[in-house]
Structure 1
Amino acid sequence: MHAVNERVAWLRVDTQTILTIAGHVITKNHRISVQHGDGSWTLGLRDVSVADAGRYMCQVNTEPMMTQTHLLHVVGE
């Protein structure tokens, strides 16, 4: 998601889990990472498994709040 100078969070919608906030990984899942630069924020997930399939949301804390949801499909293991 593209955001400049705003507080950005990534969440797992299905489990209502906060994964990252403002460039910091909050979850204890060591496969999760976040990268940002030039106003762009990217969620990373290593060693993906079928259990990781689901909806992930990028949330930008502006007024009004901006969100973008992504659906991850995983085929096989």
Structure 2
Amino acid sequence: MKGILLGAAVGYVLGARAGRQRYDQIVRAYRSLADHPAVQGTAGIVRAKVGEKTGFGRHQPNANGHRRETVIPRAN
């Protein structure tokens, strides 16, 4: 049992050292892709289409015809 735990601990430490470099590489690639203008434009179009279909993000009047205001909690 102790051998398994020791092996797992050693594997975790060695994997974490190599894993951090790989993780940073993946994050850089993701950010460069997410910041690309074509991706940003497509994301805006998708958000607009989803908003049209679901009504999400628009204020709908309630039963008495008044618009509900969004309440944003204040950070303390």
If each structure's helix is expressed as a fraction of its own residues, which one has the higher value?
Answer: 2
**Higher RCO structure, 1 or 2 (CA under 8 Å, sep 6+):** 1
Structure number with larger C-alpha Rg: 2
Instruction: Calculate the TM-score normalised by the size of structure 2.
Output: 0.20
If each structure's strand is expressed as a fraction of its own residues, which one has the higher value?
Answer: 1
Instruction: Calculate the TM-score normalised by the size of structure 1.
Output: 0.20
